[in-house]
Amino acid sequence: MRWWQNAVVYQIYPRSFNDSNGDGIGDLPGIIERLDYLEDLGIDAIWLSPVYQSPNDDNGYDISDYQAIHPEFGTMEDMDQLIKEADRRNIKIIMDLVVNHTSDEHQWFIEARKGKDNNYRDYYIWRDPADDGGPPNDLKSTFSGSAWEYDEKSGQYYLHLFSKKQPDLNWENKNVRKAVYDMMNFWLDKGVGGFRMDVIDLIGKKPDEKITGNGPKLHDYLQEMHQETLKDKDVMTVGETWGATPETAKLYSDPFREELSMVFQFEHMQLDEQPGATKWDLKELDLTELKSVLSKWQTELGNQGWNSLFWNNHDLPRIVSRFGNDTDYRVESAKLFAILLHLMKGTPYIYQGEEIGMTNRKIESIDEVDDIESINMYNERLDEGYTKEELIRAINVKGRDNARTPMQWDDTHEAGFTTGKPWLPIQPNYEQINVEAALEDKNSIFYTYQKLIRLRKENPIVVWGEYELVLPEHNTVFAYKRHYKNKTWLVLANVSRNETSLELPDEAQAGNIIVSNYDRDTIDLAKIALQPFEAIVVELKYSS
């Protein structure tokens, strides 16, 4: 067994976690101040969103120096201190590795831009204009508009699958690969616990053939990376792969292939958008689809891969507002989604604030938005004739700022996040929803997360048990079993605001209640009645 197989990872978005010096921006010393809190929660590792030198066009995902800390976050000494202080609490630091692209202010790109003969020119992807002088082809940027930007000086275009300040690296160039591996080794030598690899499925791209994800050389590069950096190190790696299927996930995470520990797949996070459209084209979630997608991932990887389990990150809206209910049943539904996910097989990830049920951010106008993706989409779609109202609605539902509002620590000035003025406004509900209040209330969402983490440590069934979906057709109840040796646990979750009764096709008796989100100490399996957003895990007893 590898350490990350019964681990729980906590993601920190540093800008919004904790500000130690009153400039309104979270920072590394601020994280160190809160390590005791994370230790109390029980997590094993922190995935740290980027803290490197960056002009912040995409909040740090545009890196201008991989081996320097952005001064707004602190210094390299602070970083070393964080690694050390976390280690004292048995917490590993997972760095965000953003190597599909750099910032246009990275030294490599500054050089590359100097001209066609520059030694760094080929670190990036340059093409001549099409015959009409326009971009080489119609590849689109994830952040709207063409993926090609014209460079006056050389009369060529460069590729940027994200913003034009995020030029794509040319992974076909072996000097690029070598430079990335050296940089990774720099961080490994500092004792980090691994890497989360940003949009890693794009590095094998073939832009002329309009192939972006899953390019032909992708797995060769990852195997080479493994040999040059990760091999023989007891670290974990998780690739961000938006297009992954169980088949491709095995290519990344089959231990015999020596690539990554696991990937983030996003199929379950795309079920509330219209098929074939974009994330902004909204659709109601159909629970049976969510059940079938997650169950497929639970069963299909087998021993040839490992799942990551998540509802949230810094790019996604808050789960309690998204699939749950952030008004009448906020506490119940937040706990329900926690229970559903943390009883599955794989490595769970908690995104900061999820453990206290933080909610989405409501905006009324585009002036309130910080995120480049939302702003670019808004401008592009306004030109295409969409109304302001529908665009603001889409941003309220799906925009990335939803998850990026500062962490709510207590009910004092700016929720205890900063003594100054936060870079993004604090949510108005901080007086009720905050860490201090959660710690004081034994029935809070926080303690459900703490308990779920402990269950994973103490019960091999949670880590290794076989997964079986129950009642696949039921459209409000998500139910599944885990089987391990002679044990069976049943997870039941009523994902709706209505009471539900149901019958289980099972001859089992209820044993111990393992965890639940209502005050309940028994359940009659012959006639189950579930409260709104009730979730319960019960051990099953079979008389034989």
- Interface with ligand GLC (CB under 6 A): 58, 61, 98, 162, 198-199, 240, 314-315
Question: Which residues partner with 500 through β-bridges?
Answer: 530
Q: Which residue has the CB atom at the shortest distance from ligand GLC?
A: 61
- The dihedral formed by the CA atoms of 432, 438, 442 and 448, expressed in degrees to the nearest 10: 120
By CB atoms closer than 10 A (0-12, 13-18, 19+), residue 524 is exposed
**Distance between CA 294 and CA 301 in Å, rounded?**
12
Half-sphere exposure of 69 (CA within 13 A, CB side): 19
CB of 482 to ligand GLC, least distance (A): 30
Task: For residue 210, count other CB atoms closer than 10 A to its CB.
Answer: 12
Q: Which does 326 bind (CB under 5 to 8 A by kind): ligand GLC, Ca ion, none?
A: none
Task: For residue 339, count other CB atoms closer than 10 A to its CB.
Answer: 26
CB of 277 to Ca ion, least distance (A): 39
Q: What angle is formed at CA 290 by the lines to CA 284 and CA 296, rounded to 5 degrees?
A: 155
**25, 147, 183, 316: which one contacts Ca ion (CB under 5 A)?**
25
Nearer to ligand GLC, 98 or 319 (CB): 98
Q: Which does 177 bind (CB under 5 to 8 A by kind): ligand GLC, Ca ion, none?
A: none
The secondary structure of residue 157, as a DSSP letter, is: E
**Distance between CA 24 and CA 418 in Å, rounded?**
6
Nearer to Ca ion, 420 or 460 (CB): 420
Q: Is 373 in the site for Ca ion (CB under 5 A)?
A: no
CB of 371 to ligand GLC, least distance (A): 9
Nearer to Ca ion, 19 or 315 (CB): 19
CB of 493 to ligand GLC, least distance (A): 28
Q: Is 19 in the site for Ca ion (CB under 5 A)?
A: yes
The secondary structure of residue 227, as a DSSP letter, is: I
CB of 294 to ligand GLC, least distance (A): 21
Q: Which does 13 bind (CB under 5 to 8 A by kind): ligand GLC, Ca ion, none?
A: none
Task: For residue 255, count other CB atoms closer than 10 A to its CB.
Answer: 12
Q: Is 33 in the site for Ca ion (CB under 5 A)?
A: no
CB of 473 to Ca ion, least distance (A): 51
Work out whether the CA dihedral 286, 287, 288, 291 comes out positive or negative.
positive
Nearer to ligand GLC, 141 or 494 (CB): 141
Q: Which does 198 bind (CB under 5 to 8 A by kind): Ca ion, ligand GLC, none?
A: ligand GLC
- Coil, helix or strand at residue 374: helix
Nearer to ligand GLC, 162 or 449 (CB): 162
**5, 21, 185, 476: which one contacts Ca ion (CB under 5 A)?**
21
Length of the chain: 544
Q: Which residue has the CB atom at the shortest distance from Ca ion?
A: 27
Size of the site for Ca ion (CB under 5 A): 5
Question: Which residues partner with 515 through β-bridges?
Answer: 537
Q: Which does 199 bind (CB under 5 to 8 A by kind): ligand GLC, Ca ion, none?
A: ligand GLC
From the candidates 72, 78, 198, 273, give the one annotated as an active-site residue: 198
**Distance between CA 104 and CA 164 in Å, rounded?**
8
**Distance between CA 211 and CA 421 in Å, rounded?**
44
Q: Is 23 in the site for Ca ion (CB under 5 A)?
A: yes
- Annotation says 240 is catalytic: yes
- The dihedral formed by the CA atoms of 82, 84, 86 and 91, expressed in degrees to the nearest 10: 130
Q: Which does 23 bind (CB under 5 to 8 A by kind): Ca ion, ligand GLC, none?
A: Ca ion
CB of 246 to ligand GLC, least distance (A): 21
If residue 137 lies in a helix (H) or strand (E), which one and from where to where? none
From the candidates 240, 267, 272, 315, give the one annotated as an active-site residue: 240
The footprint of Ca ion (CB under 5 A) covers 19, 21, 23, 25, 27
Active site residues: 198, 240
